[in-house]
Amino acid sequence: PELLVDVNLKALVVASYKIIDRIGKQNGGKGGVIVNMASIAGIASG
């Protein structure tokens, strides 16, 4: 369960912060919007 959380939740948060550091206007980037999408298919079995 911990690996699942690391991959599916923590990785999203870490990646978002890295992207913010790179595209943020305060760091010389153009700015922008981060859109995180998820699906119930990620937790549904079948």
pLDDT of the residue at 45: 58
Contacts of 31 by beta carbon, 8 Å cutoff, 6+ apart? 23, 24, 25
More confident residue, 11 or 45: 11
Mean local confidence (pLDDT), 9-20 = 88
**Based on C-alpha coordinates, what's the Rg of the chain?**
14
Contacts of 8 by beta carbon, 8 Å cutoff, 6+ apart? 42
Q: How confident is the model at residue 27 (pLDDT cuts 50, 70, 90)?
A: confident
Contact call for residues 25 and 31 (beta carbons, < 8 A) = yes
Q: Which residue ranges make up each domain of the chain?
A: 2-42
Say which range, 16-20, 30-34, 40-44, has the weakest mean pLDDT: 40-44
More confident residue, 21 or 1: 21
pTM of full prediction above 0.95: no
Contacts of 12 by beta carbon, 8 Å cutoff, 6+ apart? 36
